[in-house]
């Protein structure tokens, strides 16, 4: 029995870890199906050995917990999760349990969207608050990020005194592909799947980031309502559509469980062609009076069940392995497969991650492999079924693009080309260099940069600053008229005056983001000083660790990097920090700006604070000294008051900077 107890505790610990990675970190490490199987094994053991039951078991809890970086929201109506079913037999068991309590129920069947569950609240038809599910009882206020989702109405078609609805925020597949492409261009770790991407986007501090991600929503439930009387689920969905909500698509009312099962099969067959990700289908008792009779367990409603589709797997032959070179020089392997139909689409390519993954699976060209779509989106190789060789595939020793030797740095899985002139890295480096947080060259977006590279107008980064009106005009590019060419040339010229911090970020130094680049510029003031700084000097910067400091030193020890900087300087690009400290009245003080400022732009207020030796931060913590609060300040103001941090108005700020 001691072994059983240990097994139960081991499962609980493992599930808590993966639950935290999924719900709170938005960084799942295992597939949903694997997580579901762990939960099912634990539940089976707890039912068989009730003496080891525990009130804090993961089987008794819903979802994640509220993130303390957002204001907490207590749900007046609990946001329950659903009982899962993995076989048709379990659906018939659900019907049997329902029929023991109520007679002749009708069922509403709908797809189960794979996203992040949220509550939306309206008073007199006006959107007043939106929150995440959290643990079902307490969620987090994410109203600002929900307001920017196009399909969330801010004003309903009917001014009900109050209504709370529940929906699922998701990222459409096309939006997910765009976001991942952008992350790869910027050398960032891409989101694992659309659900992970939606959750990460909804928890952004800056709502403009959420707005840029192309999020969407389907509303599927009325939590509570004043001013309307609803008697069934289908009636409520029809009513929600009349109010202006984007309701769950394809819901259907059926008379029997057989009809529900047939509808689930139909949804399953169509999921590969849908523009959004689903991980199952839901059967709900339609009549609200029957639901009240059926009630709920401590975690699930007894009137609903979610059928989870198993991940589809197929065997096929791996006919080749292609190596691509990313912006940061990382070599990424892709399996070229004999085409196979999988989860509604034809799959001919799959990710192989890195050399360690290939070694672990024993993968070689010619093998028969099992392929699965991770999260029903990204194809991946699961295992080798038949080996074609006694040895694994080995990465090339030289870069397939430029022929330079590749290296694998200590404690890294990635194999990398470190030649800054590598052609495969050029396009992505240029796109990063011109991006908003870098040199911010308006008009030089990814498509135009690619055109300029194809036409030979740009062959290396410094060529941007030697581009002339005549060169662009003579290339006779479609859509490039006098005005548009002048705009690009003027924008390039304007970028020469950017602060050193933007240039340092634009150079694409590994591990150095926009904020770290700004700190480098403020510390050393000139490119010359940064380029000759020692690791020890760089480590003096608050927030810099060994890896970041070593990365800066390594970058400037490369002759190619110094050649690029010299060429940029010769073109007139500013190599100094423009930040000037007027006096040190805010020395050591940290400010957080929140709400709508009327007298200052946020960028102006931040610049003023920094000119007096202070710092700005995006989040409130015990280390915050002042919160400058404008109109409609939200969760940051609440947190500042809770922590006893000094809150100042714009008028008080104006007095402080006199």
Q: CA–CA distance from 270 to each of 27, 264, 273, 538, 585 (Å)?
A: 28, 10, 6, 55, 64
3-state secondary structure of 618: coil
Provide the β-strand partners of residue 336: 320, 349
Neighbour tally for 632: CB within 10 Å: 10
- Choose, from 43, 61, 65, 112, the residue flagged as catalytic: 112
Helix (H) or strand (E) holding 336: strand 331-342
pLDDT of res. 66:
44
Closest CA to 642 of 13, 68, 26: 68
CA triple 238-197-345, angle to 5 deg? 75
Distance of alpha carbon 638 from the chain centroid: 26
The question of whether 483 is a catalytic residue gets the answer no
Tokens, residue 315: 């065997």
pLDDT of res. 423:
80
**Alpha carbon distance 485, 468 (integer Å):** 9
Q: CA–CA distance from 588 to each of 21, 609, 615, 648 (Å)?
A: 35, 11, 8, 17
**Alpha carbon distance 333, 365 (integer Å):** 12
pLDDT < 50 stretches in the chain: 66-68, 376
**Alpha carbon distance 172, 240 (integer Å):** 21
The residues, ordered by sequence, that sit 6+ positions from 260 with a Cβ below 8 Å of its Cβ are: 91, 107, 109, 254, 283
Enter the DSSP assignment of 21. Answer: I
3-state secondary structure of 69: coil
**Alpha carbon distance 321, 16 (integer Å):** 37
């Amino acid at each position: 029995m001691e072994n059983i107890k240990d097994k139960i505790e081991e499962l609980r610990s493992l599930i808590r870890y993966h639950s935290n990675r999924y719900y709170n970190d938005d960084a799942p490490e295992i597939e949903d199906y694997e997580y579901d199987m762990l939960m099912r094994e634990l539940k089976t053991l707890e039912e068989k050995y009730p003496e080891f039951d525990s009130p804090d078991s993961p089987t008794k809890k819903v979802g994640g917990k509220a993130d303390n970086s957002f204001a907490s929201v207590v749900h007046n109506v609990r946001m329950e999760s659903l009982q899962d079913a993995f076989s048709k037999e379990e659906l018939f068991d659900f019907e049997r349990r329902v029929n023991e309590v109520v007679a002749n129920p009708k069922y509403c069947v709908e797809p189960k969207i794979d996203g992040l569950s949220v509550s939306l609240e309206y008073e007199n038809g006006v959107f007043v608050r939106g929150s995440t599910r959290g643990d079902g009882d307490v969620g987090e206020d994410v109203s600002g990020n929900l307001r920017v989702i196009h399909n969330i109405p801010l004003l309903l078609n009917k001014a009900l005194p109050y209504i709370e609805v529940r929906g699922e925020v998701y990222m459409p597949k096309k939006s997910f592909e765009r976001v991942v492409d952008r992350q790869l261009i910027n050398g960032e770790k891409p989101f694992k799947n659309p659900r992970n991407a939606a959750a990460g986007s909804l928890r952004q501090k800056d709502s403009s980031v959420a707005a840029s991600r192309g999020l969407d929503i389907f509303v599927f439930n009325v939590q509570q309502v004043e001013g309307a009387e609803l008697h069934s689920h289908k009636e409520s969905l029809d009513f929600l559509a009349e109010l202006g909500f984007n309701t769950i698509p394809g819901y259907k009312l059926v008379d029997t469980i057989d009809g529900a099962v047939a509808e689930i099969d139909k949804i399953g067959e169509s999921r590969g062609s849908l523009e959004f990700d689903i991980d199952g289908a839901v059967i709900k008792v339609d009549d609200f009076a029957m639901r009240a009779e059926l009630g709920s367990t401590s975690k699930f409603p007894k009137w609903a069940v979610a059928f989870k589709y198993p991940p589809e797997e197929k065997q096929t032959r791996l006919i080749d392995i292609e190596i691509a070179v990313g912006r940061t020089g990382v070599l990424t392997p892709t399996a070229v497969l004999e085409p196979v139909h999988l989860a509604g689409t034809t799959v001919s390519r799959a990710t192989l991650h890195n050399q360690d993954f290939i070694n672990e699976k024993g993968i070689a060209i010619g093998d028969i492999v099992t392929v699965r779509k991770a999260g029903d989106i990204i194809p991946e190789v699961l295992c080798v079924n038949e080996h074609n060789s006694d040895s694994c595939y080995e990465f090339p020793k030289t870069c397939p693009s430029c022929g330079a030797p590749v290296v694998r740095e200590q404690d890294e899985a990635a194999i990398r080309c470190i030649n800054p002139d590598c052609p495969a890295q050029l396009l992505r480096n240029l796109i990063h260099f011109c991006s908003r947080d870098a040199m911010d060259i308006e008009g030089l977006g990814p498509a135009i940069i690619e055109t300029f590279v194809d036409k030979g107008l740009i062959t290396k980064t410094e060529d941007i600053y030697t581009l002339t009106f005549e060169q662009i005009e003579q290339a006779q590019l479609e859509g490039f008229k006098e005005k548009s060419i002048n705009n690009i040339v003027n924008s390039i010229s304007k970028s020469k005056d950017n602060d050193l911090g933007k240039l340092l970020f634009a150079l694409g130094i590994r591990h150095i983001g926009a904020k770290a680049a700004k700190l480098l510029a403020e510390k050393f003031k000139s490119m010359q000083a940064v380029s000759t700084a020692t690791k020890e000097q760089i480590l003096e910067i608050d927030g810099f660790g060994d890896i970041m400091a070593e990365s800066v030193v390594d970058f400037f020890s490369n002759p190619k990097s110094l050649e690029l900087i010299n060429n940029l300087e010769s073109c007139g690009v500013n190599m100094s920090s423009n930040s000037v400290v007027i006096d040190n009245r805010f020395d050591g003080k940290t400010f957080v700006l929140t709400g709508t400022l009327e007298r200052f732009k946020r960028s102006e207020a931040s610049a003023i604070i920094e000119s007096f030796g202070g710092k700005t931060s995006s989040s409130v913590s015990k280390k915050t000294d002042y919160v400058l609060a404008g109109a409609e300040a939200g969760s940051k103001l609440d947190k500042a008051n809770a922590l006893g941090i000094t809150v100042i108005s714009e008028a008080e700020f104006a007095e402080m900077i006199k």
